Amino acid sequence: MRPFDQISHAISRSRREFLRDAAGVTLGSTLLRSPLARAAAVSKNRKVVVITFGGGARDQVTFAPEGQGDVPNMMRNLIPRATFFTQVVNHGILGHYVATASLATGAYETINNFAGLPPENPTVFEYYRKELKRPSSDAWVVAPSNGFNHIGESSHRSFGPGLGARVILPKHLLTAAMGSGPANYEHLLRDNYETPYYTPELSGGEVELEQLENLLKLSVVDFKAHARTLSSPDELSVYIAKQLMRQVAPSLLWITMHDIDIAHAGTYSLYVEGIRRTDQLCAEVWKAIESEPEYSGKTTLLILPDFGRDSDEDAGGNGFQHHRTGDPLSRTTWLIAMGPGIREGVVHDRPVDSLDLVPTIGSMMGFSASLSKGRPITEIV
């Protein structure tokens, strides 16, 4: 075993031991494959919701023993009903946009993290829509910052234009809704924490303000009024996502969280606050899945960080603040999978690659991710 693999394995083992004690989960390798899972593997009505738990969360404030108090909703409400993978390794570039694009394509993207470019490989949305001939209303992305406006559709010549997901950038919508009126919403408009001055021009296929009412059945006045009650950009994203689920009910919905990335400012308290908020929002999304008739009983929820953050022990980094060293802790994360046909309270500690997400969704929904470099995660398809 290479040194990196040994450390990744150690990280996953500590998560497993902790989860077994704290959440009463069972080691997955001791179980037989579920016949229910097989039956539910491909269903025409199956829906998938993906949450990227970002940007970048370390073990210490999630599933390591000392982090348990920071993710109470996942510990109490989600993990016992989920299959949990302790060792999801991201071998790619650890920048939030490019890493999220890699998650969405199943291939390690090498696009400039700050250039506002579409992924080069086909996205999961394009595979889904092209192969199953689904309309554009059936695949959506809710993304945090303007830099993500191209995430729904690749530049791949066999896919690309017209085949991707529709993208909602809630902060962009709110900015448009604010117009020149009184500005009481700035706390929801924080953008890129790593390079705070970076606000790329929008030129993708994102939803515009005038479509808010038609699509989401939400007036600008109501949108602004509700936004005023929220405290962070991710809360705004989840609010829009729930509205989308209620009004449009897409079969493939991707929500990218980003509050945690405040860690780049070096303030530990705000980083932990971001983790706690994201934990709560994940539980809210699951609650919405269970309560919305279009989703209840037929939806798989997949939650995973885009990557981790640097370890305290790596002298080349500065602990939780960044994800620049490429050390094992910054590359090794986890995955929660829950929904019909997926075993509850099970933990697997075999290594899973970040790229495995797209082919896994393909197996669940009945399309092939032909250009993806990953492999379906057999335990949940």
Partner 1 sequence: MLPRELKADQFSSYPSEAKALAVENLAVLRELPLSFIPSLLREVIEFDYKFPAERNALERELANLSHLSSTERSDLMQGFSSITVSARLEHFDWVNFPAQFVEQLSAHLWTTHQLDTFRLAANAYADCLHAAVPAQAPPIPRLGITVVGASVDSYREPLFRKLRPHGAYFSDVVPENGLEALLAAVAERAKVHARPYAHWYIDGGESVAHSPSLTTVSYAALDPVRAALLRKMHAEIEKPGMGPEALRTTMAQLRPVDLGLGAPGNDVLDRFQVKLLTEGSGTQIFSTSFTQWAAREALRRAEPTTLLVRFAPRQRQKPMNELLSPDAGSAELDPVGSLIDADMGAYYNWLNQQRLPGAEVSAFLAWFEEHNSAVVIGPTVPRGTVSNKSTDMKQLLSWIV
- What residue ranges bind partner 1 (CB under 8 A)? 4, 66, 91-95, 108, 110, 114-115, 186-187, 189-191, 193-198, 262, 264-270, 272, 312-313, 315-316, 318-322, 325-327
Decide if 339 contacts 331 (C-beta within 8 A): no
Return the closest-CA partner of residue 285 out of 46, 104, 48, 51.
Answer: 51
For partner 1, the closer CB: 222 or 314: 314
Q: Which of 113, 4, 18, 16 is nearest to 56 (CA)?
A: 113
Residue number, 9 or 322, with CB nearest to partner 1: 322
Query: DSSP 3-state assignment of 312?
Result: coil
Residue 350: both structure tokens together: 């075999």
Tokens of 214: 């038609």
Closest distance to partner 1 from the beta carbon of 299 (Å): 34
Closer residue to partner 1, CB minimum distance, 80 or 326: 326
Instruction: Considering the complex, state which of residue 196 and residue 297 has its C-beta at the smaller distance from partner 1.
Output: 196
Residue 351 C-beta-side C-alpha neighbours within 13 Å: 18
Query: What single-letter DSSP state applies at residue 208?
Result: P
Nearer to partner 1, 163 or 263 (CB): 263
Task: List the structure tokens of 210.
Answer: 């005038």
Q: How far is the CB of 243 from partner 1 (least distance, A)?
A: 23
- In the chain, the N- to C-terminal Cα span, in Å, equals 28
Task: Supply the minimum distance, in Å, between the C-beta of residue 189 and partner 1.
Answer: 6
CB of 188 to partner 1, least distance (A): 8
Nearer to partner 1, 138 or 234 (CB): 234
Please report how close the Cβ of residue 259 comes to partner 1 at its closest, in angstroms. Answer: 11
The token pair at 377 is 């995660």
For the chain, percent helix, then strand, then coil, each to nearest 5? 45, 10, 45
Minimal distance, residue 311 CB to partner 1, in Å: 11
